[in-house]
Structures are given as structure tokens and as C-alpha cells.
Structure 1
């Protein structure tokens, strides 16, 4: 007896298993909260240089923001707000770092297009994204900002998908209030 399975049914089954597995894994990842230690990480920046988080601990506040995609509307507004506030972040003793799964080349193009003065890191497999416990939203990687203090602990976090500009504003207000 032969069993005939349609390709559509097979694809639906595979997609269901993959989606459930991904959702289950994401549900188990713990989102970092205030007081948690920042996980150590190393990624490549928009200039092809290796960035190691350990090199910055004890020297600066780290404002680490995760965003879905270079050149998208909300992500561009968010990046430009961090750019426009960059001198204020620097004066307050903070280093701004953007992270997403985009390529080094995409980040370089995005940086050049909008004259972004801060570091953009490529996390192609979302390893650091998962270490921080950032959750996917609406079939996209999430948008979340963390401020890490000089002792390497999460001091502030902000999550909002559609308020990109507010990520920079709220992180800056926090850093200025905790110099």
C-alpha cells in the first residue's frame, strides 16, 4: 500500500513544526531585566572590526539597542534620533551600540547613508539577540534598548516596536540622570 502525500501538506507540516519549535524556544529564553548581568559578546561592526563587550566594561555606560532592519521606516527614525543625540550620550559617558541580524555591508551602507556616528554590530544568527532575551514581534525581530552600567549590569530597559525615537530619548534621560 502506497501513501500519497501532497507537497503542500508536507510543507505545511514542516512549517508548523519549525514555527512551534521557534516559538517554544523563544518562550523559554529569559529577557534580561534590571539588575541582571550583561552577557559577554563579540560581534563585527560596520567597518569589519571585532567589537568585544568586555573591552568597554567599567569605562562607559553601554546603550545597546536591538532593532529589526536597516533602512526601514521606524528603524531609521530610531537610528537618526540616536545620531542626533550622540553628543549628549557621549557627554554623559555612554557608548551607543545598535545590533541586528543585518550584514556588515548593510550596516556600513546604513551608517554612510544617515551619517551614523555610533557602532552597528552584525548578529547574523541572532546569538546576542537571544542572549539578551529580546522577543520577536509581528514576524520581526524585536526592538529593545538596554542601558548597561559600568559594573556590567542592566540598569534600564525599554521595549516598544513602533516608537523608535522614544528608545533614544528615554535611554538618554536615564543616562543623564545616573552619571
Structure 2
């Protein structure tokens, strides 16, 4: 995937077992998908909380935020509650969407990658940011893109 491509259609469940479809947002809402390795890892907690702390800026600019990892609904639900995350966490247990969007692994393939996609309401990818170790830079890059 590259900037300017249309986001492919995919469907995942969120932390509550509710269906999320990328297609349901096309023509209606801009969105940010941030892929991260795993709930509970310190850098992933920092990233999730950074998106939480900036959530108002996203909403104010008509963007919705979604976190994506391979953790289960149960693990996501606990993570969301523990850190008071205002956005949905999507379950990609088999890494099918990660593969579809060509999110590369990190740390010599030991962990799933950390990549953020900013998508406009027409479904066009406007920014792809890949940085394995800098959680807060994902939020900064996404905010600078939406403004």
C-alpha cells in the first residue's frame, strides 16, 4: 500500500464483538487506523494513551480512530477499560488485515509492525507512517496530516 491508494475493504470485530467494516466509513468519515504489536506492552500502552489524549483533536477534525492488533476481544476490552480509551480496538487475530495493508513486521520479524494509516472519507490513504519505536510520533504525524 502507498499514499494515494484506496483502502481495501475489510471487516473485523471490535472489543465488544461488534462488526467494523472499512466500507461503512467510505463517503461518511475520515479515519485513522493504527496498527500496534500487542495490548499491554509498555510502548503500545504509550501509543494507545497518546491517541486517547489527542482524541478530541481527531474528532474535532471529523476523524475517527481505530487501534488494531491481534489481541482477542477479551484482551482488547480489558485494555480499553484499563486505559479509558475512547476509540474502538479492532481484532485482527489472524493478521489478515495486517497482510492486506502490507504492514511489515518489526524486530527481525519477532513482533507485528507499528504502522499508522490516515484515510480520507473517500477511502484514499493520505499518510502512512511506520516507526517501530516511537509511539508518540504516530499521533504527531497523524495530527499534522489531518490539519
Q: In 2, are the aligned partners of 1:61 and 1:175 still within 8 Å (CA)?
A: no
Q: How many residues align?
A: 145
Partner of 1:69: 38
Q: In 2, are the aligned partners of 1:68 and 1:143 still within 8 Å (CA)?
A: yes
Higher RCO (CA 8 Å, separation ≥ 6 residues): 2
Unaligned 5+ residue runs, structure 2? Answer: none
Cα distance in 2 for residues equivalent to 1:79 and 1:43: 19
Cα distance in 1 for residues equivalent to 2:29 and 2:134: 25
Query: Equivalent of 2:102, from 126, 130, 133?
Result: 133
Q: Where do 1:158-177 residues align within 5 Å? A: 158-176=129-147
Decide which structure has the larger Cα Rg and report it. Answer: 1
Cα distance in 2 for residues equivalent to 1:116 and 1:66: 15
Give structure 1 regions of 4+ aligned residues with deviation exceeding 4 angstroms.
none
Secondary structure of the structure 2 residue equivalent to 1:96: strand
> Is residue 128 of structure 2 the alignment partner of residue 157 of structure 1?
yes
**Aligned-pair Cα RMSD in Å:** 0.7
Q: TM-score, normalised by structure 1?
A: 0.80
